[in-house]
Structure 1
Amino acid sequence: MPVWICATCVNHYPESDTPPASCVICDDERQWVPSTGQRWTTLAELGAAGHTLEVREIEPGLVGLGVEPGLGINQRGLLVRTPKGNLLWDPPGFLDEAAVRAVRELGGLHAVSSSHPHMYGAAVEWSRAFDVPVLLAEDDLSWVTRPDPAIRPWSGSLSVLPGVTLVQCGGHFPGSSVLHWADGADGAGALLTGDTIYVTPGQDRVTFLWSAPNMLPLPERLVRQVVSAVRPYEFDRVYGGWWTSVLDRDAKRVVERCADRYVQFLRGDAPER
């Protein structure tokens, strides 16, 4: 029986003869169902259609994994490499034997994790390929669409590997999280944020959203909560959920400044220009 994959968000659902009636992720107001209706696919169908996983070094110790041609939300996963093991962050929804071989050649996996439910992707498939745990925020476990014994809940913060820490921020989802990589950005520190902290197209600002596709803002209380959660960590760079979502320098200051500006608009205090 196939694993069913929502073609819109690319979350995986349990093996079954027939697909689910709907995708609980896309039915939520933070996502969307196409006007043509719910559609399902499988790994075999995606492979036959020519989808592959592109593996690309981003900086020393950090490798990007993206599906080509693009698929669903089309997040680019990130493999954080350390001498004690590798962590796969925000895994995309497709993998095949070639992708598994490529990651094995890079040192394999110690664990898999995700920023929030939209980006759980093929986490369980990666877990099974390497026999490693899937680390998911406890507050978001109700959104897991493919339950598995490998899923391990955590909350607050969790040191996964030396210099690699999961940090719960809330906001987009109660369990929305970032990954702090102390050795990133040449030792200045980097945050891997998915869209918990959303890097804007100019790659010089960030924003905070309840829903990106439906253009729903995040309340001030939650914006402050996100910024407060990352404040104890040093970081000069932010890697968002896509290839071009990178804030390359001075990131901690930019996050604070953009949060203040965002709140100005929420309050109606932003000056007219």
Structure 2
Amino acid sequence: MSVRIATAPRVGWPYTLIAICGVALYLFPIYWMFTSGLKTSAEIFANPPTLIPQNPTLEAFAHVFARENVLRYLRNSIAIAAPVTILTLVMGAMGAYAMSRLRNRLVDVALVTVLMLQVFPEALLATPMFIIFRALDILNTFAAVILATTSKTLAFALVVLRPMFRQVPIELEEASRVDGCNSWQTFWRIVLPLMRTPLIVVGTLAFVQAYGQFVYALTLMSDQELQPATVGIYSFVGAEYADWHRVMAFSSVFVAPVIILFLIMQRKIVAGLTAGALK
């Protein structure tokens, strides 16, 4: 009796070619940004444009490090992104867990309301937040931008984490209570470890969104010493002139931490997104 071994279906070369073209099209702007930072000002405007720098130079990178305080801008971006990520994970995890366990129509109404509020663009919400934070006397501080950005990332965390918490069997919590755990211990020791991958996904995406914050940073902070890298890049572009090769060098330095973060966390992110899709 012969045994037939099931094998994965082969993907034809047209699909492989389409996938390669899609990835190349997606990555080309990043490649163009990095290579443009290695070009001279004259080569930036060459016609036809050069895909590979003819005389690569690090002058633009040296300029942004020595003259434009790029490290200060990066430090400010991280000083905003790190607290936003922590607040999003802490409040998002507790809020989503509570919403997953409460069987009440008001919870669904609250979740729909949160989703509807995300429709409003940041530019529309910046003015009301400016008035509120001015009354609280926290303008020109990291706290203003952190709170404003968390209001966006927290809503995303609630929407993503609530259905994931609902997948945790209630029997595990009941068993932990039989063993003497209170509600906080059950959440911290039993439920939260099972949510490690979804929390990593939410934390990574919240960090990236806060790291790239521009509208709230530009509106709520006028002190240049506190402004993040997104505002620093914006200052390169003037009404009549833009130093494009230095803009690209600054952008390359700014984007590098995000790319490294995604390369490190890519398996966790894919696993978390896939698990959410399957559930």
**Which of the two has higher C-alpha Rg?**
2
TM-score scaled by structure 2? 0.20
Structure with higher RCO (Cα < 8 A, 6+ apart): 2
**Greater strand content:** 1
Greater helix share, 1 or 2? Answer: 2
TM-score (norm 1): 0.20
